[in-house]
Structure 1
Amino acid sequence: MSEIVDQFKRSVALFDSVVASVPDDAWGNDTPCADWNATELLRHQCGVLDALADIARTGEVSMPQMADDAGDPAAQWQATRDGVLDAIDGADLSAEDKYWFGPMSFENFVGMVQWDPLTHAWDLAQSTGNPIDLPDDLCEATLARVQALGDIPRKWRLITDAIDVPDDAPMSHRYLGYVGRQP
């Protein structure tokens, strides 16, 4: 398995661990993402990863859509998680196309998408009062990939304005600050 795919899977596993710890009565909690409660954040995450899985399976590029509310957020997430991991395992990582962020290999596209489950794992943990430790190596790799996209994520409102964080702050804080989260 490539390092990029491994990092993506670790980001998905981190999001998965947070979903597993969300109490049933916390799915309506507000999140750091404006206008999304915990269920809506999960539906967004499912929509992004379902679209990624579809691309992996079909080779046809389509934009993500908010997943429908299936009524059981944890079960909805489990289906998405299993689907995307299976699809990535069977994907042609060398396939070149113009994916959401421009021309690149599918492997690099997977690496670009990993910021979504990593960031939203933190968002969901904050929303539901669950502790979370974002691994420094994962934050460092993800930060480099998000920065490589230039102004696209902010222009498209995928992330908000950066929050100032000291240069000597832990890597997870620097990553979170860059994507507009107050660590």
Structure 2
Amino acid sequence: MDEIADRYRRRAAAFEDKIAAVRPEQWPNPSPCARWSARDVVRHIVDMHDVMLRPLGLTLSPAPSVDEDPLAAFRAARADVQEILGDPARAGQECDTPGGRMTVEQHIDRVVSDDLPLHGWDLARATAQDDTIDPEDVERGWAALRALPPGLLEQFRTPGAFGPGVEVFGPEVKVEEDASPQDRLLALIGRDPGWKA
């Protein structure tokens, strides 16, 4: 449990730093996620924190909206999830998820925690920040994707497979054989590593 909580804290802190570095005029900037602005990237992450609480019958605590204050909205959502991870009884509770039955902490680890480095790259690209993903997260993400059962990765690429309007990954992007591990990971999930605003 400590490993999952520590990983989430590290990734959330890095994402929060990126939000804090966004200048007000950059929030409408386009992002590598089609149809999403920089603000929409943060909105998605905050919304996914809410999804992590639902198996426990909880919702996010009252906080400013992402439209009002993206940083405050994320900080509040982060605090809610960290509170769950700090409570062994709630973190260890089993729940049904699109990925199968697992504990709440496993769901957090495999969904919103794994999303933070990737969407951190999106936010960084949209707002001209350092877009380097922690090599540990790149290695972990690559191993997890390569270990998916046959056909599941393609299901992730199918719009609507996990609900109306839900699109997890885009089509794989071709990169050079000598591309960096980060670029290969991004390409596998449908991001163009060379994307620029």
RMSD of aligned alpha carbons: 2.5
Aligned to 2:139: 140
In 2, distance between residues paired with 1:169 and 1:180? 15
Match in the other structure for 1:44 = 44
Provide Cα deviations, 1:20-58, integer angstroms capped at 9, x if missing partner.
110111111111111111112211110001221344xx2
**2:42 and 2:66 in contact (8 A); partners too:** no
SS of aligned partner of 2:157: helix
Structure 1 residues 128-170: Cα deviation after superposition (integer angstroms, max 9, x where no partner)? 1111221111111123334426233212421101112345433
Percent of residue pairs identical: 27
1:30 aligned residue: 30
For 1:76 and 1:61, locate their aligned partners in 2 and report how far apart those are by CA, in whole Å: 17
Equivalent residue for 1:87, pick from 84, 89, 101: 84
Q: TM-score, normalised by structure 1?
A: 0.82
For the residue of structure 2 that corresponds to 1:97, the secondary structure is strand
**TM-score w.r.t. length of structure 2:** 0.77
Q: 1:180 to 1:41 in 2, by over 3 A?
A: same
One-letter amino acid matched to 1:144:
A
Residues 83-127 of structure 1: CA deviation (Å, up to 9, x unaligned): 222222225443332113222233332221123211110000000
Q: Specify the code of the residue in structure 2 equivalent to 1:10.
A: R
Residue correspondence of structure 1 range 95-110 to structure 2 within 5 A: 95-110=93-108
Give the secondary-structure state (helix, strand or coil) at the position aligned to 1:103.
strand
2:182 to 166, 172, 177: 172
Structure 1 counterpart of 2:157: 154
Segments of structure 1 that go 5 or more residues without pairing to the other structure are none
Distance 1:61 1:176, change over 3 A: farther
- Report which of the two structures shows the higher radius of gyration computed on alpha carbons: 2
Runs of at least 5 residues in structure 2 that lack an aligned partner in the other structure? 162-166
Distance in 1 separating the partners of 2:127 and 2:114: 20
- Partners of 1:129 and 1:174 in 2: CA distance: 21
The one-letter amino acid paired with 1:128 is: T
SS at the partner of 2:101? strand
